């Protein structure tokens, strides 16, 4: 028997209702905040991610699925969503001429990681990006969107961590302080962090290696080095969150694992996922569009993991979605009449199913239960002669005769 590769999942109907509940909750929130959907390719030229995410990150250096096409060009399956959205925005003149542009997206991402709970090689994310304004309101809005989605899907215990990692102007002095601190402890650093110490010391704060992580608690904090503009920006983000009663915790070492962030960074974390405790995160990236050849354009965004959210709420009850009506018949002309009715109901937007085989009522009722049908309509010889179906509400057990041409009105009243 052929099996699926490690680190990927099949998602069967018993999980789809919960999956769609999460996704539809996110889409409903995006639309209330006036975000428009964008679909970008699942593969890009490798340069998109190397340039956007940063060659010093684990994603680019260790985790990408990269291959050559027949023309010898290097392509990569997208490991995250922002870089591709920024590439599309920078390349498309119609949208990058707008003063403020707000997009949302969803779909599969790919990373060559060791599979474990909450960490797959093919996983799904939804996210949003805002281009065209450096106003701290939009940092607040992005965090507020994730907070609303989290509550809408039923995540009842999480913490919002926020930080500012400054801009090009104020980050330089902080990087030197980090180098100075970590050089005195270089013997305790993992091989990757010894390299990062020279190339990008900010990455040391994001290392998950135990010996490196233990050093972080005594490292210099960036808030002591923020310029006036970055400090004021972060203060306003927190002010807007306070006004909206969005609870948060400041984490002075939160830098996240991507090189493009500036100023605000944030993560949504929970104790329900074990080691992989973040289910959403993002931040501001004011220099990324110009790295892709566009005009200087500030941006801010986030991404959330579908699989991780579904793990968090897997015990939560959600609205069950079954078929509206299951047709029960005795074969022959009763099946033909059922088929005629079913066709009209489907044309008018109802979900209707039937078993074409001639089986007893008991077997057909079992099938209706399995399909979570709200109603069943029974058409036997007596019903065919009278021109009325026996329609039963599966939840209440109530049953009544309904003329064939009035079934739609009966079901939708």
Domains annotated for the chain, with CATH where assigned, are: 13-167+227-312 (3.30.930.10), 168-215 (no CATH), 325-412 (3.40.50.800)
Q: Tell whether the model's pLDDT for residue 318 goes beyond 80.
A: yes
What's the rounded Cα separation, in Å, for the pair 284 and 12?
A: 36
Residue 328's DSSP bridge partners are 378
- Per DSSP bridges, beta strands 36-37 and 101-110 are parallel
Taking 80 as the threshold, does the pLDDT of residue 319 lie above it? no
pTM (two decimals):
0.87
Q: What is the pLDDT of residues 393-408, one digit of tens each?
A: 999 999 999 999 999 9
pLDDT number for residue 9:
92
DSSP state of 62: I
Residue 387, class by beta-carbon neighbours within 10 Å (0-12 exposed, 13-18 middle, 19+ buried)?
exposed
pLDDT of residue 186: 83
Strand blocks (E) in 69-140: 74-77, 101-110, 122-131
Backbone dihedral angles phi then psi of residue 391, each to the nearest 5 degrees: -105, 125
Sheet holding 249-250: strands in order across? 36-37, 101-110, 122-131, 299-305, 278-284, 262-269, 159-164, 249-250
pLDDT tens readout for residues 76-111: 999 999 999 999 999 987 777 778 999 999 999 999
* Residue 52: predicted pLDDT: 78
Decide: 225 and 173 in contact? Cβ < 8 Å: yes
Confidence of residue 66 (pLDDT cuts 50, 70, 90): very high
Least confident piece of the model among 109-123, 128-142, 154-168: 109-123
Distance CA 268, CA 266 (A): 7
Percent of the chain at pLDDT exceeding 90: 69
pLDDT-derived band at 27, boundaries 50, 70, 90:
very high
| Residue range 295-309: mean pLDDT, rounded | 95
Instruction: Tell me what percent of the chain is helix, strand and coil, each rounded to the nearest 5.
Output: 45, 20, 35
Of 54-58, 74-78, 151-155, 230-234, the range with the lowest mean pLDDT is 54-58
Mean pLDDT over the full length of the chain? 91
Handedness of CA 376, 381, 382, 385 (dihedral sign): positive
Model confidence pLDDT, tens digit, residues 139-167 = 999 999 999 999 999 999 999 999 999 99
Which residues sit opposite 278 in a β-bridge?
269
Are 294 and 96 a contacting pair, CB within 8 Å? yes
Closest C-alpha among 78, 62, 100, 142 to residue 304:
142
Q: Which residues touch 154 (CB under 8 Å, ≥6 apart)?
A: 313, 316, 318
8 A C-beta contact, residue 390 and residue 378? yes
Tell whether the torsion through CA atoms of 148, 150, 152 and 156 is positive or negative.
Answer: negative
Flag whether pLDDT at 58 surpasses 80. no
CA proximity to 254, closest of 292, 231, 214, 283:
283
Q: 203 versus 339: which is more confidently predicted? A: 339
pLDDT at residue 257 in the model: 64
Q: Is the pLDDT at 308 greater than 80, yes or no? A: yes
Number of H helices, E strands in the chain: 16, 16
Q: Please give the Cα distance from 254 to 343 (Å, whole number).
A: 57
**390-395 LR contacts (CB < 8 Å, sep 24+):** 394/368, 394/369
The pLDDT assigned to 321 comes to 77
Distance (Å, rounded) from C-alpha 81 to C-alpha 192?
25
> What is the pLDDT confidence band of residue 218, given thresholds at 50, 70 and 90?
confident
pLDDT of 251 reads 93
Say if CB 222 and CB 169 are below 8 A apart.
no
pLDDT at residue 116, as a whole number = 82
């Amino acid at each position: 028997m052929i099996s699926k590769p490690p680190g990927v999942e099949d998602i069967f109907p018993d999980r789809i209702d919960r999956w769609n509940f999460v996704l539809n909750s996110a889409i409903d929130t995006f639309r209330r905040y006036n975000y428009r959907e964008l679909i970008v390719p699942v593969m890009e030229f490798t340069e998109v991610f190397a340039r956007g995410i940063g060659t010093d990150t684990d994603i680019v250096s260790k985790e990408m699925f990269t291959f050559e096409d027949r023309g010898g060009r290097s392509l990569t399956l997208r490991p995250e969503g922002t870089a591709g959205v920024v590439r599309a925005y920078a390349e498309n003149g119609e949208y990058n001429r707008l003063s403020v542009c707000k997009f949302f997206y969803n779909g599969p991402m790919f990373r060559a990681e060791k599979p474990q709970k909450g960490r797959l090689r093919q996983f799904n994310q939804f996210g949003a990006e805002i281009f065209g304004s450096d106003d701290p309101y939009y940092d607040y809005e992005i965090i507020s969107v994730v907070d609303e989605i989290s509550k809408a899907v039923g995540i009842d215990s999480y913490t919002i961590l926020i930080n500012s990692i400054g801009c090009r102007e104020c980050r330089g002095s902080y990087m030197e302080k980090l180098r100075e601190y970590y050089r005195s402890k270089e013997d305790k650093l993992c091989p990757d962090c010894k390299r990062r110490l020279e190339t990008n010391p900010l990455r040391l704060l994001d290392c998950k290696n135990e010996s490196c992580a233990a050093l972080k608690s005594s490292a210099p904090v960036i808030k002591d080095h923020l310029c006036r503009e970055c400090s004021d920006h972060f203060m306003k983000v927190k002010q807007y969150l306070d006004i909206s009663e969005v609870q948060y915790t400041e984490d002075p070492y939160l830098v996240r694992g991507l090189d493009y962030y500036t100023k605000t960074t944030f993560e949504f974390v929970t104790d329900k996922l074990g080691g992989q405790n973040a289910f959403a995160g993002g931040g501001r990236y004011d220099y990324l569009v110009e790295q892709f050849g566009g005009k200087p354009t500030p941006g801010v965004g986030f991404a959330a993991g579908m699989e991780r959210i579904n793990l968090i709420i897997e015990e939560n009850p959600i609205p069950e979605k079954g078929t509206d009506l299951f047709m029960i018949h005795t074969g022959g002309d009763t099946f033909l009449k059922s088929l005629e009715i079913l066709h009209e109901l489907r044309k008018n937007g109802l979900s209707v199913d039937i078993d074409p085989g001639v089986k007893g009522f008991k077997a057909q009722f079992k099938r209706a239960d399995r399909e979570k049908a709200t109603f069943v309509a029974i058409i036997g010889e007596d019903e065919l002669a009278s021109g009325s179906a026996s329609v039963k509400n599966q939840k209440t057990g109530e049953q009544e005769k309904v003329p064939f041409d009035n079934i739609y009105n009966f079901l939708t009243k």
